[in-house]
Amino acid sequence: MIYTTFGIPATADSYHAVADRDQLLTLLQQHRTTAPPLFILGGGSNVIFSSHYHGTVIHLENKGIHLIGHDPENGDLLVQAAAGENWDSFVRHCIDNHWHGAENLAAIPGTVGAAPVQNVGAYGTEAKDIIHSVLAIDTVTGQERTFTNDECRFGYRDSIFKNQLKGRYIVWAVTFRLHPRFTPDLRYKGLADALEASGLNNPTARQMADLVTTVRWNKLPRPEETGSAGSFFKNPVVPAAQYLQLKQQYPGLVAHPAGDNYKLAAGWLIEQAGWKGRSLGHCGVYHKQALVLVNLGGCTGSEVVALADAITADIQSKFGVTLEKEAIIL
């Protein structure tokens, strides 16, 4: 069984599918005495095991989605979902129950537990916009801790769980702040355009999630057809001065303001550098979206690393911009 969406076979010293908290606590207790490296696997949509993993893999499979409360001040709904829930199923479940706000995040591969770790985002919405709090388990003490949205220190594809507290906590459940009324979020131009083209004037939440799903699969490879880790790189954030200089040199450069800085479209840079559709061994740059590396069949972890390194070096030398991986390579 392969548990990552890139579809590269890999092994680990030990693997445990965990569906209940006592089982997790027992495992953590055993782990404390031997302390091998520990990796928490969700949907495996953002991770590549490049060789045998010398450590323990814990695959979270806990389930459950519940309305746990209302905010009396504004009527917001608090919905808690277990980390092991499939993300898209969670989004659909919310829509079915008229709990709104997650529609633009439909069809993102992965699990609920992974969403806060890297603050997943698409089409104008980020997980941080709808996360109320995160219930996590301390790998050292086994105790629970609730992190408020602020305490999660969310950033672009970033959180405290990837940085200061990396490896210390396991996200066990996430509480979302959702709304009883649906309002379409059309800040992402491609989505607004797709809505106009569809002829729907007043989309329902379900129609909106369907539209997001269509827009997504027009550009990105479907995990069940082609192995990938979604965006392989983050969009690099550069100082305004560097952006202005690049923009002068490359008038077509795609970028968005990010505070005092600019976030460049890495897909544009990679395409301009001539990588779109190219391959190295069995690993390729997706022909519709250059930010995505794909498994062309029988791809190995070292081929992914070699292609990613070659692209990174080329973008550095052509544009003076450093690409950072979004995908985790172990």
- Which of residues 144 and 196 has its CB atom nearest to ligand EPU in the complex? 196
Inter-residue contact 67 to 99 (CB < 8 Å): yes
Kindly state the DSSP code that residue 300 receives in the 8-state scheme.
-
180 Cβ contact list (under 8 Å, min separation 6) = 75, 77, 98, 99, 100
Cα–Cα distance between 282 and 297 in angstroms, integer? 6
Element (H, E) at 54: strand 53-60
- A 10 A CB-CB count for 295 gives 22
Smallest gap from Cβ 298 to ligand EPU, in A, equals: 23
Round to whole Å and give the CA distance between 210 and 103: 9
Rounded least distance, CB 144 to ligand EPU, Å: 29
- Cα separation, 198 vs 251, in Å, equals 31
In the complex, minimum distance from the CB of residue 319 to ligand EPU, in angstroms, rounded to a whole number: 13
Q: What is the DSSP letter of 253?
A: -
Would you say 158 or 271 has its CB closer to ligand EPU?
Answer: 271
Q: By C-beta, is 27 or 192 nearer to ligand EPU?
A: 192
Ramachandran quadrant class, 142 (left: phi over 0; alpha: psi -120 to 50; beta: rest): left
Active site residue 85: no
Q: Minimum distance from CB of 236 to ligand EPU (Å)?
A: 10
Nearer to ligand EPU, 43 or 230 (CB): 230
| Pairwise CA distance, residues 230 & 116, whole Å | 17
Answer yes or no: 89 catalytic. no
Pairing of strands 279-280, 283-285: antiparallel
CA angle 253, 189, 201 (to 5 degrees): 165
Residue 75 or 277 having the CB closest to ligand EPU: 277
What gap in Å lies between CA 319 and CA 242, rounded to an integer? Answer: 10
State the nearest-atom distance from the C-beta of 204 to ligand EPU, in Å.
21
Q: In whole angstroms, how close is the CB of 190 to ligand EPU at the nearest point?
A: 6
Q: Return d(Cα 28, Cα 138) in angstroms, integer.
A: 9
Exactly one of 157, 216, 228, 303 is catalytic; which is it? 157
Q: How many DSSP H helices and E strands does the chain contain?
A: 8, 19
Catalytic: which of 45, 133, 159, 231?
A: 231
Q: Residue 231 catalytic?
A: yes
Q: Whose Cβ is closer to ligand EPU: residue 135's or residue 327's? A: 327
CB of 108 to ligand EPU, least distance (A): 7
Please measure the distance between the N-terminal and C-terminal CA atoms of the chain and give it in whole angstroms: 18
Distance CA 117, CA 60 (A): 14
Gyration radius of the chain over CA positions: 20
The contact set with ligand EPU (CB under 6 A) reads: 122-123, 188, 190, 219-220, 230-231, 234-235, 254, 265, 267-268, 271, 276, 289-291, 326
* CB closer to ligand EPU, 40 vs 220: 220
Name the residues annotated as catalytic. Answer: 157, 231, 326
